[in-house]
Structure 1
Amino acid sequence: MSETHPTPNRTVLEMTQSTKIFVWLALGGAGVGLGLALPWLLQNAANWPIPYLDVLKFLGTIDSPLMVFGRPAMLGLVGLVVAFFITHEAAKLTLTDAEIRITEGDDSRIVTREQVGGVYRKGGKVRIESPEGRVLFNDDVEGGGARIAEAFIAHGYPWEGTLTGPRAAHTSQGRK
């Protein structure tokens, strides 16, 4: 689910617009669904060990038009706000043969080739370390392991992770 824009001298790894729209719809829809289900959940909370249970049950009984329509609308809006922050803060890596530009939200920084000692995946995250072992970047990057590995290898960065699949065989043969 990454958008890779290869040009002769750069590759951009970022969240695609369709993935962003999916996140917005999923979280907005989850908020609306919670707003619709909240009265039922609160009414059936009688067996749960929750403090202020009577207050919560009372809130679940309010069925004024403002609450019936307002609750799903407000929780849907909260879901959209959370989705915006998730998609806005997603890491974008612009790779060239000389540097890696890391953009997260409105912040951007550059890691030069000389600063990179190794790149690999750890869990679901991409980790860039200096030759001394200092962590320069450790976050999620959209795209899947093979595509991310191909991008770093294509620009000559020291990829230390394993490669799998048919793309990996082609990539590793091309770099020998």
Structure 2
Amino acid sequence: MAAERVSGAGVTVVGRARWERALIWGGFPVAGAVLGGLVWLVAGWVVALRWVPMRGPFELVDSLPDLPAALGCMGLGAVAGLVLAFVAEREYVTVAVGDDRVVCVRDGAERSVPRASVGAVFVDEGRLVLLDRRGRELLVYSAREGADLPGTERLARAFKAHGYPWSPGGDPHRDEYRRWVPDMPGLPSGANALLRARAKALDSGDGEEAAQLREELGRLGVVVREDGKKRQFWRCVPPPLG
């Protein structure tokens, strides 16, 4: 897929560039094979170091004939590289911007937002966010929750080309956020518990759990974001209807 293209239906697709895909699908397996070869080369040396923990895999490699051991290590490394390439491809967010709607695809899941619902679009601290006209989050993809996003400039060109309200300065509601601390007042019932659970998910690196908890908070009328130190900040909005 091209990094940025306009389809016959007038939809601008922002996806991974061909050279990036070639680098991932070709480079990761090659790098894995090289690392596997290095494991074979150092296996005998590691086995000789009696103080090294978990020497079992190295002892196994060292006990095998040279050619099968080398080919096996390189093959396993290449397979591991292919698995990493597959994960990287699945986590990438492809964004199709049309005059009437935005469609995003990540990990095989497609999410669509009508153009009429969008009040602001921005990229801020590794997050692609679409807000409605009342400041509620319609769509969020965050690098801290595992998403791999296209470049900001490419996204900006695509959204502005179709007349979306792009916010070049990032989050237009940045000044409304408050730092969250446990059991602080002013939050809807149940929000503190969700924020505590989300803090644990962020600390453990569980991006999927953090994303689900963010959506739960949105249903209570709480918009949450975090900074590079995993500190959470929140603001209240009218909860969605229904």
In structure 1, list runs of 5 or more residues that go unmatched.
164-176
Which 4+ residue blocks in structure 1 deviate beyond 6 angstroms? none
Map 1:68-107; keep pairs closer than 5 Å: 68-107=70-109
How far apart in 2 are the matches of 1:2 and 1:44? 45
Match of 2:149 in 1: 141
TM-score of the superposed pair, with normalisation by structure 2: 0.57
How far apart in 1 are the matches of 2:111 and 2:59? 51
In structure 2, list runs of 5 or more residues that go unmatched.
142-146, 171-242
Bigger relative CO (Cα 8 Å, ≥ 6 apart): 1
Higher strand proportion (structure 1 or 2): 1
For residue 90 of structure 1, report the CA deviation from its aligned partner. Answer: 1.8
One-letter amino acid of the structure 1 residue matched with residue 69 of structure 2: M
For residue 99 of structure 1, report the CA deviation from its aligned partner. Answer: 0.4
1:125–1:140: 8 Å Cα contact kept in structure 2?
A: no
Match of 1:36 in 2: 37
For residue 109 of structure 1, report the CA deviation from its aligned partner. Answer: 2.0
Match of 1:169 in 2: none
Q: What is the aligned-residue identity percentage? A: 24
1:117–1:133: 8 Å Cα contact kept in structure 2?
A: no
The structure-2 alpha-carbon separation of the partners of 1:99 and 1:135, relative to structure 1 and needing over 3 Å to count, comes to closer
Map 1:17-166; keep pairs closer than 5 Å: 17-42=18-43, 43-44=45-46, 46=49, 50=53, 52-53=54-55, 55-64=56-65, 65-130=67-132, 131-134=134-137, 136-138=139-141, 139-142=147-150, 144-162=151-169
The structure-2 alpha-carbon separation of the partners of 1:57 and 1:107, relative to structure 1 and needing over 3 Å to count, comes to closer
